[in-house]
A and B are shown apart, each in its own frame.
Chain A
Amino acid sequence: MTKQVQQLDRVIIRFAGDSGDGMQLTGDRFTAETAQFGNDLSTLPNFPAEIRAPAGTLPGVSSFQLHFADHDILTPGDAPNVLVAMNPAALKANLGDLPKGADIIANTDEFTKRNLSKVGYDGNPLEDDSLAEWRLHAVPLTSLTVKALEGFDISKKDAERAKNMFALGLLSWLYHRPTEGTIAFLEAKFARKPEIAKANIAAFQAGWNYGETTESFSVSYEIKPATLRPGTYRNISGNQALAYGLIAAAVQAKLPLFLGSYPITPASDILHELSKHKHFGIRTFQAEDEIAGVGAALGAAFGGSLAVTTTSGPGVALKAETVGLAVTTELPLIIVDVQRAGPSTGMPTKTEQTDLLMAMFGRNGESPVPVLAPATPSDCFTMAVEAARIALAYRTPVMLLSDGYLANGSEPWRIPEIDELPDISVQFTTQPNGEDGTTYLPFKRDPQTLARPWAVPGTPGLEHRIGGIEKADGTGNISYDPDNHDRMVRLRQAKIDGIDVPDLTVDDPDGDARVLVLGWGSTYGPIAAAARRVRAAGHKVAQAHLRHLNPLPANTGEVLRAYDKVLLPEINLGQLAMLLRARFLVDVISYNRVRGLPFKAAELAAVIQDVIGDVIESD
């Protein structure tokens, strides 16, 4: 049978199944194949916080969405073209996102009476005509897998578990993905269980062959590689990029990296990653709690390490007092907050931008802290290095606001050359700095940066004491003098306000847009994709994105005032909008959704169109 091959410019696939079905692994492998093939891509894993929610239930559904294309793309896509549903729960939970006409590949073996009734289906949707508006491919994935593995010396359970590899094989055939990487991956993953490795590879190949022979799929698809900027690329998630950025920062600073951390979703993978790289002189310390994590990091900073603590929102709340101590002792420290839905425990695996005001103000006293936010998964690398630059140059704690979407999402990353990275090395103070030539003044400031000197224990002649009590300007001795306190409060604020950050750049192709859409952090992709749609529809919109939130770029006010309307989408109830309104008296229009999910490009495009419409109407 000759099968038709169709060319597509982009595809969005969603793998969905039970938490135990291996959907994240399947998605990761398909992503790796796609990256290897050279498409641009963006991913969105979506999984429950429970490790194994009751099998077959709606809360137990785990999914992985992948958008890949022959051109550069910015988001994991709004709506899937293809849904792989491993059971009725996966179908039910995801059907609402699926546009009519999309493909559904359903594992018929799991559509049993019991599984159907578990999620409230009266009949079998694969057999009645309720899915008539979609293109349904009913495939008995489990039994085909078990059949393909008949000759293997493995249990039936192990054979059934390989069904995700059968599905991966089928999808790999459908989209002409390279297979060598997955085979090598399975060989390495199951190196100690060669029979399981062989069985998974066989299931993967059986899936591929099934696609080629079955009549259920008459067409396969080609998506040509994307033309990206020349360079060497790899696929990278936000958490991995952030960990690599911290390692790069330590190398570029010529300091040992110390991480004090307590496990918390969705930040733990940074701890896991850094703990694998001790040969860079990295010390990772899994503390007894969040407070000890940041405390140990601050102790290491006092000792001369590049000190980091990684956490999510609830952990930031616990660390607040220690961050305040870092503010007043003026020691470099990086606090990574991988934001998740709150308040309290909230929804640990879902994303949000709701910690901005906590990062800015969540401490007692006047306690200014620089705040940074990466825009994309790979930007986590760049912003980790930037956080270290600021922390070290200005002797200050720095908040780095990633989020669940960036942390687990992935995209191709052009690997930087080492000589493209900034030199952020620091000089410890080794000589007395007092006018008499013998005393050491731990709070005598650099006139340019207002940073204090950093003399680490072990340096003879510079023995000194620091602490949380107010310090006398210069000497650092305990001081309750009213004027000294006023001066120190202002000096600490002036130091942060004076941090050198790059200007805000505006993307306005024609230069005459009247509406600016502004964002910060992980909304970059959906906002930029929305702006493209609006422009493609013949309208004008300018776009700007803040990665430095404190201090803001010096030209921020000027940019905001240059437009008739400023639209600011945020996954919170308007936190940055509040700051900008207060600071610049600009009537920023907020657009807010707090659903634990990233914005969709179509949704934002409609909002932008509305604002443009209002501007034109009011002329």
Chain B
Amino acid sequence: MTDTLNGSLNGKGLALIPRTDAKQTMKDFKSDQEVRWCPGCGDYAILAAVQSFLPDLGLRRENIVFVSGIGCSSRFPYYLDTYGFHSIHGRAPAIATGLAASRPDLSVWVITGDGDALSIGGNHLIHALRRNVNLNILLFNNRIYGLTKGQYSPTSEIGKITKSTPMGSLDKPFNPISLAIGAEAGFVARTIDSDRKHLQSVLRQAAEHRGASLVEIYQNCNIFNDGAFDTLKDPATRDEITVKLEHGRPIVFGTGDNEQAVRLSPTGGLQVVPRAQVADSEILVHDAHNVDPSLAFALSRLDEPAFKHVPIGVFRSVDRPSYDHLLNEQVQAATADKGTGSLADLLHGGDTWTIG
């Protein structure tokens, strides 16, 4: 196993955030606002999962902030009784960056969607990831624009017929996991709205990672893109498609005769082969803590062509100092070096002269 870059931060993702001994329940995290998503929307399941998982973190509720952009998912903060900021389209990572960088005592969550994060806000997303700002970014991917009523999104498959693309969309979609790994993200994971246990396990790991965490959550839009992830949910197909990533475990999936394994391809990258045809020693053992992102990236490409094999779980979890940590270290170092700033000394610095 490869060790982490900065052992001192490892597992201390929540160390700076005040904790509470008071017993918290899911109810404490529900706001008094009526939830206004379409009936049957995958967002309900994610909201319930988050509301019931937050008490487990044991953080003071007032030190948790949810920041969102624009889109269906971005209404999320209104429904949580924490601090919340529903901002503007695509800008949540930027706004959350200022908050997290100036307030290391906060657990800051960004709620965004595939349009918000990858289209209008793509620039902020990649820079928040490379800077390693202490944020948990939950990217609700439904592969469609919901709030504007059904245009294709940057994760829609090529050829998508929508109101704005009656002859089919032309552009190749982003793979959010590949993008995040390419953007130097330290923590990258994927989960699915319908699997509450898996979702909560991933969220916990994201919260405990100090630095930027990106969690892609497959979320069903039952109005404009219903069934987009059905093959991952249908008992008849899901086991053949879903590749559950677990750190330290060989990557195998499927059952019975259809059991398959992942191994290094002789031509570079990874390949999926029948389990029976490979020796145990050939099977790739998942190392989420590998500093080198190459294999994590290769894993993110297993779903090409689309949805043939879909890894879920934590692709990458590598610690490095977070942006707020480094920024505050500079403030402390400057103060230790020069003493707390004196305004009078500052104003009288440089060449002065006195009259009268």
Task: Give chain A's interface residues, CB within 8 Å of chain B.
Answer: 32, 35-36, 38, 181, 227-235, 244, 247-248, 251, 256, 258, 260, 277-283, 285, 287-289, 291-292, 295-305, 307, 321-322, 324-325, 329, 415-416, 418, 457-469, 477-478
Contacts and interface: CB of A to CB of B under 8 A. Distances in A.
29 contacts: A35-B351, A231-B356, A247-B346, A251-B341, A258-B102, A280-B346, A292-B123, A295-B97, A295-B124, A296-B94, A296-B98, A299-B94, A299-B95, A299-B98, A299-B100, A300-B98, A303-B106, A305-B102, A324-B88, A325-B88, A416-B347, A458-B106, A463-B81, A465-B77, A465-B86, A467-B77, A467-B84, A467-B87, A477-B33
A96 to B, nearest CB: 34
Contacts of B235: none
A233 B352 contact: yes
A325 B92 CA distance: 12
B160 to A, nearest CB: 28
Contacts of A299: 67, 85, 94-100, 102
A104 B96 CA distance: 57
Contacts, number: 209
Contact of A279 (B81, B98, B335, B353): B335
B346 A458 contact: no
B83 A465 contact: yes
Nearest to B330: A278
B101 A285 contact: yes
Contacts of A288: 94, 123-124, 127
- The 7 A-B residue pairs with the shortest CB-CB distance in the complex, in nearest-first order: A230-B356, A467-B86, A299-B98, A296-B98, A295-B94, A280-B341, A465-B84
A227 B330 CA distance: 43
Count chain A CB atoms within 10 A of each CB in B63, B103, B106 and give the residue with the most.
Answer: B103
Contact of B98 (A244, A247, A260, A416): A260
On chain B, which size bracket covers the interface?
35 or more
Nearest to A278: B334
B171 interface: no
B86 A469 contact: yes
Nearest to B65: A457
Interface string B313-348: 000000000000001101101110111110110111
Contacts of B339: 279
Contacts of A304: 102-103
Contacts of A322: 88, 91
A469 B77 CA distance: 13
Contact of B343 (A247, A289, A295, A324): A247
Given A258-B102, A296-B97, A299-B96, A36 B327 contact: no
Nearest to A33: B351
A457 B106 contact: yes
Nearest to B323: A285
Contacts of B91: 291-292, 295, 321-322
Contacts of A478: 33, 78
A229 B82 CA distance: 55
Nearest to A277: B341
Given A300-B99, A463-B81, A463-B83, A415 B331 contact: no
B60 interface: yes
Contact of A234 (B331, B343, B350): B350
A463 B61 contact: yes
Contacts of A305: 98, 102
A285 B354 CA distance: 36
B86 A232 contact: no
